[in-house]
Amino acid sequence: MALQAKQVLVTVMTYPSPSRKYVEIVCCAGIDLGSGSWIRLYPVPYRSLPSPNRFKKYDIIEVRCEKASRDSRIESYKVDQDSIKVIRHLDTNDNWRARRDIVLPTASSSFCEILKRVRDNKSLGMFKPCDIWRINMRSATRPNDPEPADRLLNSLRLGTLSPDPWDLPLYARSRIRGQGDVVERQRRPCPWAAAALGLLPSSALSSATARPV
């Protein structure tokens, strides 16, 4: 399949994962501005990209990509890493209007609605939980094989990484409304920003509280 040029509003960036082929990769998700639908861009060796191409959340980027041949999920596209170009950043002015105008039209009514689409190989979506009860923190468990982290440090010379990029130290238990019912679910978040909480000292987290979304 030929490469396609797309403009994408980046809304999610996963925590870096060790990769034998790319050393380190990040998976990104966002909204294809051409179709208004969700898209997954992968693999992105984010921290080895040239500095001008290191996009942030809520950046609009231009990228050439093609449907991933080994991934049946319809949102998954393989990226031409050299084609990534940052167009502009959407700020939070006017109560996040620039972001809301693009993101909110994609919202599903519930998490249950998103799950129903899995049978159609759809795996991305956005919804608003009725509230968040609490955020539970736990210590990460270091894997037995330190080789991936050593490879990252030696190959990319990025300095000290989080000691446990494989086991995120944050879980969120939320109350989610679906099909008229309220169900409790425990989800393991993957965004980079959420995982970064694991880098904070425990004293900084002891007073942390969850607020309604």
Max Cα-Cα span within the chain: 52
Q: Which residue has better confidence, 109 or 203?
A: 109
DSSP states along 28-56: EEEEETTTTEEEEEEEE-GGGS-GGG---
Where does 4-108 sit in CATH, by number?
Answer: 2.40.50.140
The yes-or-no verdict on residue 167 having pLDDT over 50 is no
Confidence of residue 182 (pLDDT cuts 50, 70, 90): low
- Going by their DSSP bridges, the two strands 76-79 and 37-44 should be labelled as parallel
Domain ranges, ordered by start, for the chain:
4-108, 131-205
Residue 40: exposure state from Cβ atoms within 10 A (0-12, 13-18, ≥19): buried
Q: Tell me what the mean pLDDT of segment 138-150 comes to.
A: 51
* H-helix or E-strand spanning residue 27: strand 23-32
Residue among 35, 119, 25, 19 at smallest CA distance from 79:
25
What pLDDT does 185 receive? 54
Q: Which residues contact 131 (CB under 8 A, 6 or more apart)?
A: 174, 175, 212, 213
pLDDT 10s digits, 21-45: 777 788 899 999 999 999 999 989 8
